[in-house]
Amino acid sequence: MTIHDVVLSGHLTAAQLSRELGRLSFGPNARAGLLVDCREMTGYDPDARALFVQWNRDHRRSIVGLAIVTDNALWSMVIRAMSLASAQQMRAWATAQDARAWLGALR
């Protein structure tokens, strides 16, 4: 399984997120993990959040798991809630190494 990496920093805008997600490529039958490193993010615009939710919905069939690296406790709670609401494998991690190991164990 391929693991795609996205690193986000600063205050996230929809334009920045669109550029980063636009770099990702999924084939018709792809099954990939997505590691999003948010440790350098300071916040995000509502439009960026909406874009991510829609992008994730559109690519959900290709994504086995979504690992988000953050040290922000509030964001970790939001990620747990998003996982429950979407019934998607999604978890927050403190380190990229732990996130990558978890994604690698998913099938």
pLDDT (tens digit per residue) in 62-106: 999 999 999 999 888 888 888 888 888 999 999 999 999 999 999
Instruction: Report the Cα 2 to chain-centroid distance in Å.
Output: 14
Which residues have CB under 8 Å from 72's CB, separation 6+? Answer: 38
Every domain of the chain and the residues it spans: 2-105
Q: What is the dihedral of CA 15, 21, 25, 31, to 10 degrees?
A: -150
Structure tokens given for 99: 């996130």
For residue range 6-58, list pLDDT tens digits in order.
Answer: 999 999 999 999 999 999 988 778 889 999 999 999 999 999 999 998 998 88
CB within 8 Å of 61: residues ≥ 6 apart: none
From the options 3.30.750.24, 3.40.50.300, 3.20.20.70, 3.30.420.10, give the CATH code of 2-105.
Answer: 3.30.750.24
Position 18 scores a pLDDT of 96
Is 80 exceeded by the pLDDT of residue 107?
no
Cβ(103)–Cβ(35) under 8 Å? yes
